[in-house]
Amino acid sequence: MSLPCCSVTYGNHDIDFKVEFVARKTLEIAVQPDSRVLIKAPLGTSFEEVRKRVVKRAWWIKRQQDYFQQFKPRTPVRCYVGGETHLYLGRRYRLKIGRGDCCGVKLIRGHFHVGIPESAGSDKVKEILDRWYARKATEKFTESFNRCWHGLAKNSGTKPRLQVRRMKKRWGSLSRGGTLTVNTDLIRAPRECIDYVITHELCHVQFHNHSPAFYDLLEKVMPDWERRKQKLELALV
């Protein structure tokens, strides 16, 4: 049996949640990557008891929702025309398009110089720039991954495998199988923010949740993680 969505207030925020009553002994509160709050409660649990548990854990629920929110890429629409700005490692570079036989990307004095064939349009500019971003992402994320793992390797067991690809809703994730996936688009963020995302996911090697122990470890290896998290949120708008 399940109830329709209910809500409690936490500060200036309303926390909507859905309750399902199932055959289990304990009450579970789960926050999904899309920020939905799902609760599984033992059969016979009163709604008032569920509501009190949600109120008690509201700070944790909001923290989880904030965490997932910051990993949702917020990329403005790009037209890939001359004069437009694009980010790389936290800096903005203005796009200059040259036509000729040579295709490629060069960073020169604050500009992306993109060479395309005479007859090509903005789709070709996007294709060339995306390939360049993908190569740089693999290079820079590998450097960050090795650097960040060094501070965690002593107590974290087997080193994950790094994978770089585009993701729709997350900046990074760690699978149960030991694959750390980083979103290609994170290459637009400052280096310290890239290190934050990767370090955050590497902490999941030891703790597969966002428990106090997880945050204790994150705080230990990266004391300024909250500043970096905020900088990431502000950088990619």
Residue 119: what pLDDT? 81
Q: Are 198 and 152 in contact (CB under 8 A)?
A: no
Domain membership flag for residue 161: yes
Domain membership flag for residue 80: no
The residue type of 36 is R
Which pair of tokens denotes residue 236?
A: 């990619």
| pTM of the shown model | 0.67
Do 38 and 104 lie in one domain? The reply is no
What CATH number has the domain bearing residue 126?
A: 3.30.2010.10
Domain membership flag for residue 143: yes
Residues in CB range of 151: below 8 A, 6 or more apart: 199, 221
Do 112 and 207 lie in one domain? The reply is yes
Domain membership flag for residue 27: yes
Q: Report the 10 Å Cβ neighbour count for 102.
A: 10
The residue type of 84 is E
Query: How does pLDDT run across 39-94, given as a tens digit for each residue?
Result: 999 988 998 999 999 999 999 999 888 877 766 555 567 788 888 989 999 998 99
Domain membership flag for residue 77: no
Do 155 and 203 lie in one domain? The reply is yes
Domain membership flag for residue 127: yes
Query: How does pLDDT run across 119-142, given as a tens digit for each residue?
Result: 888 889 999 999 999 999 999 999
Do 95 and 38 lie in one domain? The reply is no
Do 10 and 98 lie in one domain? The reply is no
Backbone angles phi and psi of 61, in degrees to 5: -60, -45
Residue 165: what pLDDT? 94
Largest CA distance in the chain: 73
What's the domain range around 35?
Answer: 6-70
Domain membership flag for residue 163: yes
If one counts the domains in the chain, the total is 2
The CA-atom distances, in angstroms, between 78 and each of 113, 165, 203, 220 are 16, 19, 34, 39
DSSP conformational letter for 12: T
Do 54 and 162 lie in one domain? The reply is no
- Helix, strand or coil for residue 199? helix
Domain membership flag for residue 75: no
